[in-house]
């Protein structure tokens, strides 16, 4: 949170989407796709701590951070993203 505030000069987006899933469940999907970035290279324990940190932020600021289940189908995830964006645009809480 402090790093984000420093990097943006205190600016915060109206909406941040947190695509959430258990890193262990995502492992097979990433291996199937041949995807590996620096987060995957850090291992599951690191990814679990990272996930916990994002979920903690989302719990602290539920009006701004929307958690979306990343294990849903592409259509389900897309629908949830569009719903979250629509709420912000329309001014809903």
Structure tokens of 37? 């970035």
Answer for the pair 81, 75: CB distance below 8 angstroms, yes or no.
Answer: no
Instruction: For 4, list phi and psi in degrees, rounded to 5.
Output: -60, -45
Q: Strand pairing partners for 19?
A: 68
**Across 8-35, average pLDDT:** 85
Cα separation, 26 vs 17, in Å, equals: 18
Answer for the pair 81, 17: CB distance below 8 angstroms, yes or no.
Answer: yes
**Across 39-54, average pLDDT:** 87
pLDDT at 41 over 90: no
pLDDT at 44: 87
Give the domain ranges of the chain.
14-90
Model confidence at 30, in pLDDT bands (50, 70, 90)?
A: confident
pLDDT at 89: 92
Percent of the chain at pLDDT above 90? 55
């Amino acid at each position: 949170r402090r790093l984000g505030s420093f990097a943006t000069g205190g600016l915060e987006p109206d909406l941040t989407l947190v695509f959430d899933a258990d890193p262990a469940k995502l492992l097979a999907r990433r291996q199937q796709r041949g995807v590996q970035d620096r987060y995957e290279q850090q291992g599951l324990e690191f990814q679990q701590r990272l996930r916990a940190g994002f979920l903690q932020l989302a719990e602290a600021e539920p009006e701004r951070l929307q958690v979306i289940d990343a294990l849903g189908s592409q259509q389900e995830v897309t629908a949830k993203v569009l719903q979250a964006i629509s709420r912000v645009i329309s001014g809903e809480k």
